[in-house]
């Protein structure tokens, strides 16, 4: 049991914790069950390509405005997609899915790519990090080059978060994130 | 980067059985310390692996632009209409669902406060047993409820209206909110119907007292925050009377400047418990208040406080202290009414208000609202309306019984729960085959159980709201609010339902829908220079921190009377102290009171049920307040089960020994039961046919007996333990409790029509 609590890093105060896995790579640990989460193209309602849209000149905040203002990055309403795709490649098979959902007034159900486990009781505030000039890619990787967005960091691994907080002089108090 | 699905070199292959066998052999030779270490490690790893499993979370992409992102919380402002207080609230919304209700901190009404009743409005909105679709019943307890549709319901109700025939054959029952009442009266005129306001019994009494004293209904607006003495005569201003949130704020502000709170009441309410001075009276407040009036009018020589205290059986030092406070007060606020008050009690309170200069500052809220609250003129966009007939509950019961009212429509009120069974209203409705009961409701209650048609009504947050908001006791304003959440199921705005019913009967109500009705209401008051807009009042608060009295722009009370003077009337009867003194002997009078949870707001709401009563601390159930002497006579202690019987009904409940209870009196809370469950201990069924100003009398003589099977009693839940009663500051010495003896009876003489109780 001592081992367990120590692993979660909650039993010690932040001043005592010196053994955080500082060298955790910004990538998923081996064996993590990413595929079962289903963020691949087969599970998303539309095969949306970040790369194509970035190449077309869109910026992250164009669609994820919440990342700079709110706790959650959020998704744009379908109306935003339709405003362009009503005229732009409306015959593309994936765009047809969008148009069909719009006509049927049926909201699309997207699969969240980066999921914080509920059991960890952790809160992540996008705007707080954006205000601290933390770039999107620092946590999400090079989404701009991804055809289908996939997680590159296991956001459930606390060591990665804590190390970044310490490197940048941010708080490492438990209650800053766990509440 | 490691391959995502690469296997660790130490990962066990389930197909490798040899490793399992080898491990088993290893365990047999492992030292105990090493075994514990290994198993602990294994458990930790297993748990961490479990934590590493990713959760699949779906995000619903909204169709159209909104002010918030999916999952993002936002706060929207609205009005609480759980009581007539009209607090302004803010609601935390996530993805179109209301998650939390809090008071609006910018509101001059409640300044960020909201009571337990307001919090629980969410549980009305999302209650699993919420009525969401039209239903039809056969109108008897044995009937089964059938799901229906709006089309079928309206197709059936239209002919009912047509066949009702005759002026006043239809009665529409609504709540007490003046704006809602004005709307209902307007709609009722299209049906040639009468209106019956279903409200707290004390509100009906206060209204009748105003009619007799002032010649009409008035809203007495007083500033509690500015008062140097706040005297509550029967009115439990911190419990549920008026707007308790705003009044609590006013009391707190006044007290911070050194003001005192004095209470004259029979029961130790939360208000009395919080008072600087509490005068416990018995037999009504009128004798004591009349004596105070005599003191104010300079005839103190005729009043000997010591003799008076003896006659009224109140502590003389408290009476002397109250007289001193009143004499020293320059700006007293005096509030009258409350549980168990008679018309004479309230009229005596008005005389006290007049004697201490309170009344000239009063204003009429119905004039404040222009023609909104005046049914004779009505909204400008609607059809003209004639004088409407308004029935009291007693009159409605009589008309249903004699068949002159054949169709009863209830709009968000529990009519059959508001009247005792002894009145026979439910029996009259069910026995008359030509009568019909149509209930517009959100949850099941006594009325829906007997209704022929149950029509789903929107709750506060689902509908357009127009409400008269009271700024404590200081001012009033009309506030409007748009819906915050989408209506659940097939529920509709009550005005829309009534309009649809009127249209189904071939009549024209003049309004297209509830929104049009709202616009008409707002337009009708638009020429008052904005004095009634909450925004204007809020600006005034921001300017100088005080809500101004609006009396300058409005007729004062003195203008209500033809001769321009206050026509102070005296109570009926001789009103002598001797005739109204405290009762003696071993008679026990039960008074029903409205606690902090409200009268009939739905015990089915867990947040209300689990809220401990501030005096008894009882949760999840009802109780009877007994004085220690009576409990000793019975041999019961707090938590014991007793049966309470009157000449009209009986119920079982648990005992709470309250040293602050006057000997010979007892009290039970209203609303401490689930109205959706038949026979769930509604103490109203103990009440007799007597009425006060057309509303059920809240007093009845009862027999209290120890329940026979006390071992199998339900476990009462007391929020602070069973000995808390000893901590209540009482006016009398406590008495020890004896051992409960099943069947032992506290001798009580009934005062019903026959003068006896049935056992």
pLDDT at residue B267, rounded to an integer? 87
What residue ranges define each of the domains in chain B, with the CATH number in brackets? Answer: 68-159+171-192+374-549 (3.40.50.740), 222-361 (3.40.228.10), 589-746 (2.40.40.20)
Crossing angle between the packed helical segments B343-355 and B286-296, to the nearest 10 degrees: 20
Contact B694, B393 (CB under 8 A): yes
Q: What whole-number distance in Å separates Cα of residue B454 and Cα of residue B150?
A: 11
Identify whether A30 is part of a domain.
yes
Q: Give the residue from chain A lying closest to B7, CA to CA.
A: A31
Q: Tens digit of pLDDT for each residue in B530-555?
A: 333 333 333 333 333 233 333 333 32
Q: To which H or E segment does residue B455 belong?
A: strand B453-456
Q: In what order do the strands lie in the sheet with B260-265?
A: B277-280, B260-265, B229-233, B332-336
Identify whether A1 is part of a domain.
no
pLDDT at residue B151, rounded to an integer? 94
Q: What whole-number distance in Å separates Cα of residue A41 and Cα of residue B131?
A: 42
Q: What whole-number distance in Å separates Cα of residue B636 and Cα of residue B628?
A: 9
User: Residue B650 burial (CB < 10 Å; 0-12/13-18/19+)?
Assistant: middle
Q: What's the longest Cα–Cα distance across chain A?
A: 61
B/e letters for B415-446, b = 16+ CB within 10 Å, e = fewer, are: bbbbbbbbbbbbebbbeeeebbbbbbbbbbbb
Better-predicted residue by pLDDT, A172 or B109: A172
Q: What is the DSSP string of B380-404?
A: TTS----PPPEE-HHHHHHHHHHTS
Q: Give the residue from chain B lying closest to A74, CA to CA.
A: B69
Q: Nearest 5 degrees, angle CA B471-CA B472-CA B477?
A: 20
Identify whether A11 is part of a domain.
no
Which range marks the domain in which residue A29 is found? Answer: 17-43+111-177
The beta-strand segments (E) located in B203-290 are 229-233, 260-265, 277-280
Interface test with B, best of A29, A33, A102, A141 (most B CBs within 10 A): A33
Give the CA distances from residue B599 to residues B219, B580, B593, B646, B673, in Å, rounded to whole numbers and listed in that order: 22, 28, 8, 21, 10
Q: What whole-number distance in Å separates Cα of residue B96 and Cα of residue A140?
A: 29
The single residue listed with the structure tokens 């961490």 is B48
Residue A171 C-alpha, separation from nearest chain B C-alpha, in angstroms: 24
3-state secondary structure of B674: coil
pLDDT at residue B456, rounded to an integer? 96
Q: What is the DSSP letter of A117?
A: -
Written as six digits, the tokens of B687 are: 């009440």
The count of other CB atoms within 10 Å of the CB of residue A164 is: 18
Written as six digits, the tokens of B242 are: 């008026």
Cβ of A32 within 8 Å of Cβ of B52? The answer is yes
Considering only the beta carbons, identify the residue of A38, A72, A156 that sits closest to B52.
A156
Q: Give the residue from chain A lying closest to B49, CA to CA.
A: A32
3-state secondary structure of B439: strand
The beta-strand segments (E) located in A22-144 are 109-111
Q: What is the DSSP letter of A153?
A: S
User: Residue B596 burial (CB < 10 Å; 0-12/13-18/19+)?
Assistant: buried
3-state secondary structure of B655: strand
Identify whether A155 is part of a domain.
yes
Name which of B532, B520, B533 is nearest B186 in CA terms. Answer: B520
Number of domains in chain A: 1
Q: What whole-number distance in Å separates Cα of residue B490 and Cα of residue B123?
A: 18
Q: What whole-number distance in Å separates Cα of residue B505 and Cα of residue B507?
A: 6
Q: Tens digit of pLDDT for each residue in B55-66?
A: 677 787 777 776
The rounded Cα B439 to chain-centroid distance in angstroms is: 19
Give the CA distances from residue A74 to residues A38, A68, A98, A112, B70, in Å, rounded to whole numbers and listed in that order: 19, 10, 18, 10, 6
Residue A15 C-alpha, separation from nearest chain B C-alpha, in angstroms: 24
pTM over 0.80: no
Does position A95 have pLDDT exceeding 80, yes or no? Answer: yes
Phi, psi for residue A120 in degrees, rounded to 5: -80, -10
Cβ of B6 within 8 Å of Cβ of A30? The answer is yes
Backbone CA torsion sign across B719, B721, B727, B730:
positive
Cβ of A109 within 8 Å of Cβ of B69? The answer is no
Cβ of B11 within 8 Å of Cβ of A2? The answer is no
Q: What whole-number distance in Å separates Cα of residue B156 and Cα of residue B143?
A: 18
Identify whether A152 is part of a domain.
yes
Considering only the beta carbons, identify the residue of A32, A77, A154 that sits closest to B63.
A77
Q: What whole-number distance in Å separates Cα of residue B472 and Cα of residue B87?
A: 9
Q: Nearest 5 degrees, angle CA B534-CA B538-CA B540?
A: 120
Taking 50 as the pLDDT cut, the residues of chain B under it are 1-30, 35-52, 139, 300, 360, 362-388, 525-586, 721-759
The count of other CB atoms within 10 Å of the CB of residue B469 is: 28
Cβ of B40 within 8 Å of Cβ of A7? The answer is no
pLDDT at residue A155, rounded to an integer? 79
Residue B489 C-alpha, separation from nearest chain A C-alpha, in angstroms: 18
Does position A53 have pLDDT exceeding 50, yes or no? Answer: yes
Give the CA distances from residue B526 to residues B333, B369, B468, B590, in Å, rounded to whole numbers and listed in that order: 31, 10, 15, 48
Name which of B624, B655, B615, B626 is nearest B639 in CA terms. Answer: B655
Identify whether A3 is part of a domain.
no
Cβ of B59 within 8 Å of Cβ of A33? The answer is no
Residue A156 C-alpha, separation from nearest chain B C-alpha, in angstroms: 7
Identify whether A65 is part of a domain.
no
Q: What is the DSSP string of B521-552?
A: HHHHTGGGTTTTBHHHHHHHHHHHSSPPP-GG
pLDDT at residue B681, rounded to an integer? 66
Phi, psi for residue B644 in degrees, rounded to 5: -110, 120
Identify whether A137 is part of a domain.
yes
The count of other CB atoms within 10 Å of the CB of residue B128 is: 6
Q: What whole-number distance in Å separates Cα of residue B122 and Cα of residue B102?
A: 11
The rounded Cα B7 to chain-centroid distance in angstroms is: 65
Please provide the distance, in angstroms rounded to a whole number, between the alpha carbons at the two ends of chain B.
86
With contacts defined as CB-CB under 8 Å, which chain B residues touch A74? 69-72
Considering only the beta carbons, identify the residue of B51, B62, B65 that sits closest to A107.
B62
With contacts defined as CB-CB under 8 Å, which chain B residues touch A36? 53-54
Q: What whole-number distance in Å separates Cα of residue B206 and Cα of residue B692?
A: 10
pLDDT at residue B545, rounded to an integer? 29
Q: Tens digit of pLDDT for each residue in A58-84?
A: 888 888 887 887 788 888 889 889 988
* 3-state DSSP of B269-295: CHHHHHCCEEEECCCCCHHHHHHHHHH
Written as six digits, the tokens of B723 are: 């000995």
């Amino acid at each position: 049991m001592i081992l367990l609590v120590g692993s979660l890093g909650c039993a010690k105060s932040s001043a005592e914790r010196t053994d955080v896995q500082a060298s955790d790579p910004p990538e998923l640990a081996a064996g993590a069950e990413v595929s079962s989460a289903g963020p691949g193209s087969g599970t998303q309602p539309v095969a949306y390509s970040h790369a194509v849209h970035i190449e077309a000149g869109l910026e992250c905040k164009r669609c994820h405005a919440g990342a700079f203002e709110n706790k959650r990055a959020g998704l744009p309403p379908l109306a935003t997609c339709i405003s362009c795709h009503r005229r732009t490649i409306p015959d593309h098979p994936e765009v047809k899915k969008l148009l069909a959902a719009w006509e049927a007034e049926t909201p699309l159900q997207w699969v969240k790519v980066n999921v914080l486990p509920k059991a960890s009781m952790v809160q992540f505030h996008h705007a707080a990090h954006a205000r601290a000039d933390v770039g999107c890619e620092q946590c999400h990787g090079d989404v701009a080059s991804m055809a289908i967005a996939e997680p590159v960091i296991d956001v459930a691994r606390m060591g990665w978060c804590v190390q970044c907080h310490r490197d940048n002089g941010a708080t490492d108090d438990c209650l800053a994130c766990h509440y | 980067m490691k391959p995502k699905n690469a296997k660790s070199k130490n990962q066990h292959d389930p197909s490798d059985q040899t490793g399992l066998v080898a491990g088993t052999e290893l365990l047999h030779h492992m030292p105990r310390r090493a075994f514990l270490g290994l198993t602990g490690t294994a458990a930790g790893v297993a748990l961490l692996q479990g934590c590493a499993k990713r959760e699949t979370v779906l995000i619903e992409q909204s169709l159209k632009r909104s002010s918030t992102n999916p999952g993002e919380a936002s706060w929207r402002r609205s009005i609480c209409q759980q009581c007539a207080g009209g607090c302004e609230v803010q609601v935390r919304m996530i993805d179109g669902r209301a998650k939390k209700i809090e008071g609006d901190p910018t509101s001059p009404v409640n300044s960020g406060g909201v009571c337990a009743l307001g919090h629980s409005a969410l549980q009305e909105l999302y209650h699993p047993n919420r009525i969401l679709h039209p239903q039809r019943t056969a109108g008897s307890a044995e009937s089964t409820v059938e799901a229906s549709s709006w089309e079928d319901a309206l197709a059936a109700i239209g002919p009912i209206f047509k066949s009702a025939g005759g002026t006043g054959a239809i009665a529409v029952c609504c709540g007490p909110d003046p704006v809602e009442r004005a709307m209902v009266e307007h709609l009722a005129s299209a049906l040639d119907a009468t209106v019956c306001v279903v409200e707290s019994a004390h509100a009906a009494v206060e209204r009748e007292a105003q009619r007799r004293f002032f010649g009409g209904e008035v809203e007495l607006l007083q500033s509690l925050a500015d008062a140097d003495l706040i005297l509550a005569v029967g009115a439990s201003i911190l419990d549920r009377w008026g707007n308790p949130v705003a009044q609590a704020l006013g009391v707190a502000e006044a007290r911070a400047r050194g003001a005192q709170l004095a209470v004259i009441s029979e029961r130790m309410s939360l208000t009395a418990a919080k008072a600087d001075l509490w005068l416990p009276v018995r037999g009504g407040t009128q004798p004591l208040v009349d004596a105070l009036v005599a003191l104010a009018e300079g005839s103190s020589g005729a009043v000997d406080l010591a003799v008076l205290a003896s006659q009224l059986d109140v502590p003389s030092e408290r009476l002397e202290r109250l007289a001193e406070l009143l004499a020293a007060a320059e700006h007293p606020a005096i509030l009258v009414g409350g549980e168990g008050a008679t018309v004479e009690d309230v009229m005596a309170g008005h005389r006290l208000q007049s004697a201490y200069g309170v009344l000239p500052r009063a204003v009429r809220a119905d004039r404040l609202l222009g023609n909104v609250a005046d049914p004779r003129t009505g909204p400008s966009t609607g059809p003209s309306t004639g004088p409407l007939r308004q029935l009291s509950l007693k009159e409605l019961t009589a008309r249903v019984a004699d068949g002159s009212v054949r169709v009863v429509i209830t709009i968000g009120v529990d009519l059959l729960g508001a009247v005792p069974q002894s009145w026979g209203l439910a029996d009259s409705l069910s026995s008359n085959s030509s009568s019909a009961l149509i209930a517009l409701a959100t949850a099941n209650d006594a009325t829906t159980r007997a209704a022929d048609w149950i029509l789903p009504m929107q709750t506060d947050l689902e509908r357009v709201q127009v409400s008269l908001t009271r700024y404590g006791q200081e001012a009033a304003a009309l506030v409007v609010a748009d819906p915050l959440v989408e209506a659940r199921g097939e529920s509709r705005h009550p005005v829309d339902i009534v309009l649809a019913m009127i249209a189904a009967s071939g009549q024209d109500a003049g309004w297209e829908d509830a929104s049009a009705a709202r616009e008409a209401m707002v337009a009708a008051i638009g020429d008052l220079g904005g004095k009634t807009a909450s925004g204007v009042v809020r600006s005034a608060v921001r300017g100088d921190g005080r809500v101004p009295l609006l009396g300058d722009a409005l007729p004062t009370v003195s203008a209500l009377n033809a001769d321009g003077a206050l026509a102070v009337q005296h109570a009926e009867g001789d009103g002598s102290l001797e005739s109204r003194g405290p009762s003696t002997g071993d008679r026990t009078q039960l008074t029903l009171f409205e606690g902090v949870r409200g009268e009939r707001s739905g015990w089915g709401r867990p947040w209300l049920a689990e809220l401990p009563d501030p005096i008894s601390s009882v949760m999840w159930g009802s109780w009877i307040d007994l004085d220690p002497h009576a409990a000793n006579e019975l041999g019961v202690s707090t938590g014991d089960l007793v049966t309470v019987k009157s000449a009209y009904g009986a119920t079982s409940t648990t005992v709470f020994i309250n040293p602050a209870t006057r000997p010979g009196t007892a009290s039970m809370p209203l609303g401490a039961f689930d109205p959706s469950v038949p026979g769930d201990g509604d103490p109203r069924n103990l009440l007799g046919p007597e009425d006060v100003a057309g509303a059920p009398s809240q007093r009845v003589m009862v027999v209290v007996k120890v329940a026979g099977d006390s071992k199998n009693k339900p476990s009462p839940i007391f929020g602070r333990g069973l000995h808390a009663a000893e901590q209540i500051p009482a006016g009398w010495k406590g008495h020890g409790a004896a051992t409960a003896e099943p069947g032992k009876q506290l001798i009580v003489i009934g005062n019903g029509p026959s003068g006896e109780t049935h056992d």
